[in-house]
Copies of this chain bind each other. A is one copy, B any other.
Amino acid sequence: MDIREIAKRARVSTATVSRVVNRVPTVNPQMAKRVWNVIEELGYYPNTSARALVSGRSRIFGLIISDITNPFFPEIVQVFEAIAVQHRYEILLSSTSHDPVRMESSVRRMIERRVEGVAVLTFGMEEPLLEHLHVREVPLVFVDVGPQRPWVSNIKIDYLHGIRQAVQHLAALRHEVIAFISGPLKLKSALARQQAFLRSMREIGIEVDPALMVEGDHTMEGGMAAFAQLLEKPIRPTAVICSNDMTAIGVMRKSNEDQISIPQDLSVIGFDDIRMAQFVIPPLTTIQMSQAELARLAFDALMADVEREAPAPSGTEYVLKTNLVLRQSTRLNSAATQRIK
């Protein structure tokens, strides 16, 4: 059952059926009605492949993430998909697990499906792949790590904004010995968070003791290990800020094992605000990087490029702010309180 069948039964041409289906306003309403009736009656659904082939528009966006089981991503996928559907786009999802081979195959699949844009929410993309997409003028959007060139947008995360809030929040609670557990420092995003922490501390006149900075790996196990390291140091922090929530959850887990109560004995702050942050005990105070907002920015960036005829010569830049959300893993520093008494 195809457009010709509909045309025949509605006694119009296929062109008219096409116009009706695509809601071209110039068609005679009566005729349109007749066509719709036949469409309903026969349960006709236009064939997307044919449409894509002839129009040259696939109405598909690629979405490359590292790992859907990483709690940071589900909400992004959710929102991205919801917006896409509103715009009559489909999404081609791909998890790469940080594997360059899978990344390459993802890009290949996306090119074969002639995606109209790709959101890359991983730690960048190798030059040859970029090149393949670039010659086809496929709009791309990255988070922080995109190259400056036509058809490439970048969403810059304002780490400082939220991290400064976190530091000042702890300072207000009389914490002075504040540790920081970073992510893998070879990651640009992890490094940026650490830098923002140091800068925020400097702003309030504290020069951080290097002993209070340990490197984690953004996993729970890494958080536990990093915190264990911290406990062996001569100075004991009363608060710790973590480079992501999973790390913070690791800290909480290790604290629990060692009979360190949170927030009584130790205040903990995470980063990301993954959903799980609300479910741990106590609920985790964390720096939110809105996944919904990120998804929306990414989609809008692609959409903008699709609708542009000429690209900005060195891409477009967007900014996503981060913000502290207060929950129950931080508290007034009891040591300081006693001192005041």
Contacts and interface: CB of A to CB of B under 8 A. Distances in A.
B48 A113 contact: yes
A24 interface: no
Given A48-B114, A69-B275, A71-B71, 6 more contacts: A47-B114, A48-B112, A49-B52, A81-B94, A252-B281, A281-B281
Interface residues of A, number: 47
Contacts of A67: 78
B74 A78 contact: no
Interface stretch (A85-93, A187-195, A299-307): A85-93
A249 B279 contact: yes
A83 B67 CA distance: 15
Nearest to A249: B279
Given A48-B113, A69-B78, A135 B249 contact: no
A207 B47 CA distance: 58
Contacts of A77: 68, 93
List 8 tightest A-B contacts by C-beta distance, closest first: A49-B52, A49-B53, A49-B49, A69-B74, A45-B111, A68-B74, A48-B112, A48-B113
B95 A220 contact: no
Given A109-B85, A276-B279, A281-B256, A78 B95 contact: yes
Interface string A88-106: 0011111100000000010
Give this chain's copy count: 2
A75 interface: yes
Nearest to A53: B49
Q: Which residue, of A46, A69, A109, has the highest number of chain B Cβ atoms within 10 A?
A: A69
A58 B90 CA distance: 14
Interface of A: 43, 45-50, 52-53, 58, 67-69, 71, 73-75, 77-78, 81-82, 85, 90-95, 105, 108-109, 111-114, 132, 135, 220, 249, 252-253, 256, 275-276, 279-281
A53 B47 contact: yes
B48 A50 contact: no
A275 B46 CA distance: 40
Given A69-B275, A279-B249, A49 B45 contact: no
Nearest to A70: B74
A113 B50 CA distance: 10
A47 B75 CA distance: 31
B95 A81 contact: yes
